[in-house]
Amino acid sequence: MGKNKLQGRDSALDIIRIVAVFTVISVHFFLNNGFYSQTVDGTAMYVMVIMRTLFSVCVPLFMVLTGYLMSHKTLSRKYYKGIVHTLIIFVLATLACMIFKTVKYGDPFSLSDFIFSTLDFTGANYSWYIEMYIGLFLIAPFLNLAYNGLKSQKQKQVIVITFIAITILPSLFNIYNFDVANWWIDPKTSDTFAKLVPNWWMGFYPVTYYFTGCYLREFGIKLKTRTMILLFVAFLFIFGTFNYYRSYGTTFKSGIYVYWYGFEPYVLTILLFATLKRIKTENFKNGAKFVLYKLSGLALGIYLISYIFDSIVYPILNKAVYNMPDRLPYYFVTVPIVFICSAVSSAVLNVIAKYIVVLFNKIKDFIIKQLRNPKKRNLQDYVFIILIGGGLIFAFWKSI
């Protein structure tokens, strides 16, 4: 990236993407260290519940950022080409994860296994996000038509509030039991809750985050930065304490309020996104901006390939530290290790992806050139030679 482009780049968005992927790695700390099978009580578990609540902003930050960046995208051939790099990184990460599982677990795979594991998003264990993102990418231009077709700020507030009402609010109202009086003293006694509002549309929560990103780009939040920081910290401890209360004496309750469509991640995500967006990066040196730009470009690969390093690091931690709450201090060791190793690996994937695109373009240009110049060897001649060569190699391989 040139010096002028770096000077005009809003590096706050790069910071948001880096924070998002770092919190993804962080929430996987709890996925892999036995947190969800540990009884919630004591100071260490309270701290860990607070941290788990904080890191729930990980995926929502990505979705808000998607809406922020893509709010003006329109239908075009160029637009659809924009997903090519994402898909290539996904396929490469899937291959890397499957090779790793073959080496570590002795789980060999065939070409058909790789193809089907790619198509059903199981080859790379953290690739559910790509499955969601493909759909969000495809409908984004139509979401933009709906959002940008509204003529006033009030109308745009209505569309955001409407989607909050049908996707987020159920996680606030449908989480209580009014039939058992003792439940309020000891919530773990029952997981049966009264349904106060409709919840059918909760699965559409990515659209809510997308529209929120569109709105934040256009209007932002009319609060002072200090106020937003104080609100973020206050809500973090309120939500974390609430989660501790709901889980006390049993394992962590992953209620709908802590999932991505929960009111807790939504509130924390919006406050954190708006706060980070206000970081004044125009005075950053070009070197710092370049590092942020490059690191943010590795985020997708880091997300997908971190499974490999989680599978290496956490068995070592869990074996070395028997008592799960005692693993808390090792967050500051394991998460940076996984992040750094994943970033290096993601850089390799990005280089490979770059050359795949270069090779594809060369092949495309060659085919176009051959089709337009019949005086040289025809395209079908090259295809025939390749097929014959491939057939001979295959026959020789089968005869061994």
Show the tokens assigned to 21: 């992927």
Q: How far apart are the C-alpha atoms of 60 and 204, rounded to whole Å? A: 13
Q: How far apart are the C-alpha atoms of 178 and 117, rounded to whole Å? A: 45
Percent of the chain with pLDDT over 90: 78
Q: Between the CA atoms of 239, 242, 246 and 249, what dihedral angle is there, to the nearest 10 degrees? A: 110
Mean pLDDT, the chain, rounded, equals 92
Q: Give the closest residue to 301 by CA, choosing from 354, 347, 338.
A: 347
Extract the runs of DSSP E, i.e. beta strands, from 304-384.
none
Q: What is the pLDDT of residues 308-320, one digit of tens each?
A: 999 999 999 999 9
Domain ranges (residues) in the chain: 3-399
In the predicted model, what is the mean pLDDT of residues 25-43?
Answer: 96
Q: What is the pLDDT of residues 198-249, one digit of tens each?
A: 999 999 999 999 999 999 999 999 999 999 999 999 999 999 999 999 999 9
What does the pLDDT read at residue 368?
Answer: 75
- Is pLDDT above 80 for 274? yes
What does the pLDDT read at residue 377?
Answer: 56
